[in-house]
Amino acid sequence: MPALTTTADGFLLRGDPFRIISGALHYFRVHPDQWADRLHKARLMGLNTVETYIPWNLHQPRSGAPLGLDGILDLPRFLRLAAAEGLHVLLRPGPYICAEWDGGGLPAWLTADDGIRPRSTDPRFTAAVDAYLDLLLPPLLPHMAEAGGPVIAVQVENEYGAYGEDTAYLEHLEKALRGRGVRELLFTCDQADPRHLAAGALPGALATGTFGGGVERALARMRDHRAEGPLMCAEFWIGWFDHWGGPHHVRDAADAAADLDRLLSAGASVNIYMFHGGTNFGLTNGANHDHAYAATVTSYDYDAPLTEHGDPGPKYHAFREVIARHAPVPDGPAPGPAAKLAPRDVVLDRCAPLFSGTASAAPSTTVAADRAPLPMDRLDPPSGFALYRSALPAAGDGVLRFSGGVGDRAQVFVDGAPAGVLERERGEEALTVWVPRAGAALDVLVEDLGGTNYGPRIGDRKGLLGPVAFEGAPVGPWTCRALPPDVPEPSAFAPTGRTTGVGPAFHRGTFEVEAPADAFLALPSWTKGLAWVNGFALGRYWRRGPQRTLYVPGPVLRTGANDLVLFELHGSAGLTARLTDAPDLGPEAH
């Protein structure tokens, strides 16, 4: 008997009437030393439950590898901390999770399989999912409510009705979970309209809805879909995410609080998406590809009740007040903001150019390709960047054509000099270049800006996507190399000279800290790249915005000397970075 059961209009938890008041908090977007703090603040806002997805591709970046379950991936520890805080947990193991996460959580090594049909009964897909669940579920079963743990319900797939109609696939997942010992309540979630609900629901699972407004209408549509059972909004969108080149999205706190009140007044259960968004650390962000490709930024602040840096924002207080009208909220004052590091400048006065050799020593295999360069998924290790090298067949002005385009942003160099950039977002396939001599070196540095996480383009290839020609003459052979942008050894850096800071290069600076605390890294004179503090990958920065600062979690800093490293893809107008005490996520759109 599962701990959580349903009645004609609600839930029972171990036989007692229960309403789920949950908030989304993705452990993989929060530094693990901050999990306990965020969970505590969830309970203080009045939540009785937290919800998290599980990102398959982060737990298993290589096919057949054991699951990573340590550090930021130590989900069992997250579940223990939630239980210690007295919170229940909703688990959403996917295997597809959407979530503005690279590839929607589906590993690139799987979706790159030629002709595979992800999220379907394609046996290649279901066999991989089964093998994943074989590894994932044993460490999670002790945390199910039945075993005394906090997990009271498990989601099957994610908004499947927006994608497909292969109900047999959903049934396969249901059986796969049940067959591996999951006995808790299962649920599906779909956008609250009749077509999505019909295609995404499963007879044996609770059907829940995802929406941010139009509460009465959404609840009515859910009631039309199922005449009986609890009404639950599995994703109550109280904010939104941002793309590079777009505005920073915010939603008015009073407006979101009024909708929360409507939901709770209607007797519905809720999962606030997000309660605390956190950060797409490293290269983990996803992308959308509707009319054009658009990559999601590093911050996943989401304008959530708890900000990206874990401070209560206006929605925290507004929601706490609303919840208190419907359910008990812990006594005492709401938590205040955490300490911030006093602002300071960091001078990045040492540099290791990418093309000089020393900085590109990270292990990776070079693959030769005679005709067309290979896409990134054919290179090892999975890395987010690739470097392609060939020679140009003729001299002079001409058009360099990349058939099939690039995935997602290619910087072109002729004899080491920057010649231009091509972007998937703009559908670019050609560049006019000046070639000084026949046989000039052609280098193409390609960045995977994040795998599309929604719609039919999940699994789209990255890297150079087809043959390359200069003035119609084929370019080749190629050497193709994955380029994991790992922080080079300190010995690889030399003092930055007048010209060494030009082009793709790692830059390093040190700064002193008296007492570690949260900070925000502002890079006003830098162009585009990645930033690390003490080896921890903060994520991508891009002058394009909207986001202008990167969150530096306090636990990443140490008392004494700290290292800041940038992998700058272009160049900078100065050698200074600034640590500030407030975030700047850019110009707002409501």
The residues carrying an active-site annotation are 159, 235
Least CB distance to ligand GLA at residue 311 (A): 21
Q: Calculate the CA 387 to chain-centre distance.
A: 24
Stretch that binds ligand GLA, among 11-19, 26-34, 97-105, 305-313 (CB under 6 A): 97-105
Task: Using DSSP, state whether 352 is helix, strand or coil.
Answer: strand
CB 107 within 8 A of CB 97: no
Closer residue to ligand GLA, CB minimum distance, 190 or 261: 190
Residue 242 interacts with ligand GLA (CB under 6 A): yes or no: no
- The residues, ordered by sequence, that sit 6+ positions from 151 with a Cβ below 8 Å of its Cβ are 79, 88, 89, 90, 91, 140, 143, 144, 145, 184
Closer residue to ligand GLA, CB minimum distance, 165 or 428: 165
Distance CA 242, CA 544 (A): 12
178: left (phi over 0), alpha (psi -120 to 50) or beta: alpha
Least CB distance to ligand GLA at residue 297 (A): 13
CB 476 within 8 A of CB 468: yes
Least CB distance to ligand GLA at residue 35 (A): 20
Closer residue to ligand GLA, CB minimum distance, 51 or 486: 51
Strand order in the sheet with 473-474: 430-435, 396-402, 468-470, 473-474
Least CB distance to ligand GLA at residue 235 (A): 5
- The residues, ordered by sequence, that sit 6+ positions from 287 with a Cβ below 8 Å of its Cβ are 243, 293, 294, 295, 296, 408, 449, 450, 451, 452, 453
CA distances from 69 to 52, 139, 536 (A): 15, 9, 18
Options 75, 81, 99, 435; binder of ligand GLA; rule CB under 6 A:
99
Closer residue to ligand GLA, CB minimum distance, 96 or 109: 96
Least CB distance to ligand GLA at residue 240 (A): 7
Exposure b/e, 449-485, CB count within 10 A at least 16 = b: bbbbbbeeebbbbbbbbbbbbbeeeebbebebbbbbb
Options 41, 45, 60, 100; binder of ligand GLA; rule CB under 6 A:
100
Closer residue to ligand GLA, CB minimum distance, 82 or 98: 98
Stretch that binds ligand GLA, among 98-106, 386-394, 439-447, 580-588 (CB under 6 A): 98-106
Closer residue to ligand GLA, CB minimum distance, 78 or 302: 302
CB 129 within 8 A of CB 105: no
Closer residue to ligand GLA, CB minimum distance, 32 or 212: 212
Distance CA 180, CA 172 (A): 12
Residue 269 interacts with ligand GLA (CB under 6 A): yes or no: no
Write phi, then psi, for 549 (nearest 5 degrees).
-130, 155
Tokens at 98, concatenated: 């959407």
Number of residues engaging ligand GLA in binding (CB under 6 A): 8
Stretch that binds ligand GLA, among 93-101, 105-113, 166-174, 275-283 (CB under 6 A): 93-101
Say how many Å lie between the first and final Cα of the chain, rounded. Answer: 45
Residue 235 interacts with ligand GLA (CB under 6 A): yes or no: yes
Distance CA 65, CA 135 (A): 10
Residue 429 interacts with ligand GLA (CB under 6 A): yes or no: no
Least CB distance to ligand GLA at residue 14 (A): 29
CB 563 within 8 A of CB 348: no
Least CB distance to ligand GLA at residue 170 (A): 15
Restricting to residues 152-181, name those near ligand GLA by CB under 6 A: 158-159
Tokens at 422, concatenated: 């091509």
Closer residue to ligand GLA, CB minimum distance, 101 or 385: 101
CA-nearest of 515, 546, 547 to 531 is 547
Distance CA 105, CA 111 (A): 11
Fill in the DSSP letter of residue 497.
-
Q: Which string of x and - marks every residue 199-218 that binds ligand GLA (by CB under 6 A)?
A: -----------x--------
One-letter identity of residue 464: L
Closer residue to ligand GLA, CB minimum distance, 235 or 448: 235
Least CB distance to ligand GLA at residue 305 (A): 15
Restricting to residues 36-75, name those near ligand GLA by CB under 6 A: none
Residue 241 interacts with ligand GLA (CB under 6 A): yes or no: yes
Which stretches within 188-313 are classed as H helix? Answer: 194-200, 215-225, 253-265
- E-only strand ranges, 337-395: 344-347, 350-353, 366-369, 385-391
Options 45, 98, 133, 354; binder of ligand GLA; rule CB under 6 A:
98
Q: Which residue is nearest to ligand GLA (CB)?
A: 98
Least CB distance to ligand GLA at residue 191 (A): 7
Closer residue to ligand GLA, CB minimum distance, 100 or 261: 100
CA distances from 75 to 70, 107, 283, 528, 552 (A): 8, 18, 20, 32, 22
Least CB distance to ligand GLA at residue 53 (A): 7
Q: Is 527 exposed, middle or buried (0-12, 13-18, 19+ CB in 10 A)?
A: middle
Which residues lie near ligand GLA (CB under 6 A)?
98-100, 158-159, 210, 235, 241
